Amino acid sequence: MTPIYKVLKNKDTTIKPIWIMRQAGRYLPEFRDIRAKNPDFIKLCLNEILSAEITLQPLRRFDLDAAIIFSDILMLPYGLNQKVEFKKGVGPILGDLNLDNILKVSEIDFVNKLRPVYKLVDLIKYNILTKNKNIIGFVGAPWTLLVYMINQKSPKSGLKSNFFKDKYLINNILKIIEKFLKLHIKNQVESGAQIIQIFDSWAGLLNRKDLPNYVYEPTINLVEYTRSLKVPTICFPKGIKTYKDFCEIVNPDAICIDYEVNAKEILKDIKIPIQGGMDPKILLTDKENLKKGAKKYLDIFKDHPYIFNLGHGVLPETDPKMMDYLVKMVKDY
């Protein structure tokens, strides 16, 4: 059994496996070399040879316990024929949302459009599984995808003023998102993904009263569906202030916490395995600070099933040597 499975399935507290969100990507010079020659991000995600290579890059450098596939949560709207492009310095820009067009997308069309993502999982399978590591597939949570699809860009500066105006559109899009997310999860699992992480990057935008409709209910459906495929889920409802409620209602196999969470308080409230927490900015400081920051989480969760990770993705300016130091430190803990 892999170290991560020991934590997720056996609730083992004697080991602290490590993988890092966005471990494959922008902080690695070998990734930047590929990216420089492939400016279209969506096309790069749909090149299974290159995306498989990018997925494996961090595992060649560091003794991580899992590979997370190189892809993007916005492959879902792309698969539903909504235009998606990434602009440098701006982030994702999505085209107009047309419900009639989306309703015309068949399951076969969707799978064919995203087939390179599933091929990438198949390509890396042998390489990862023979080393007693896991392959992590992922999806965006329904709420976060709804935000991008209606807002048409990152909501860093807030949602459109009329975001909640068309309830008919919202309810229909949420149903469609859920249906195709299940299909996306199924295909990743059938290709070889052994864990699914659900990223709810914008859960923190909602008031507590709106969480049941937009976060809890849709996520429960995905967690239960993934469980029916005999695969564990890790949920990351970033920015949510109600982690305890989330865990009790949604009941994932593990919860990933962000860096604004009080880890000691979380420990009192949550019984399931915990992942993450450390601020990615600590990797931009020095080794002494990094050791202190990582040890804080390892000490707090010493007697709790815990997977070491950050409270958000690796920052692009991170020095790979600092990542190497972190991985070795966690392994030696």
> At CA 325, angle to CA 324 and CA 330, rounded to 5?
100
Mean pLDDT on 171-177 = 96
Mean pLDDT of 182-198: 98
**Cβ contact 318:280 at 8 Å:** yes
Compute the distance between CA of residue 119 and CA of residue 171 in angstroms, rounded to an integer.
32
What angle is formed at CA 215 by the lines to CA 23 and CA 210, rounded to 5 degrees?
Answer: 135
HEC letters along 208-238: HHHHHHHHHHHHHHHHHHHHHCCCCEEEECC
pLDDT at 225 over 90: yes
**Domains of the chain, start order:** 3-332 (3.20.20.210)
Q: Tell me the per-residue pLDDT of 92-142, one tens digit each, with 9 for 90 and over.
A: 999 999 999 999 999 999 999 999 999 999 999 998 988 999 999 999 999
Q: For 272-322, what is each residue's pLDDT tens digit?
A: 999 999 999 999 999 999 999 999 999 999 999 999 999 999 999 999 999
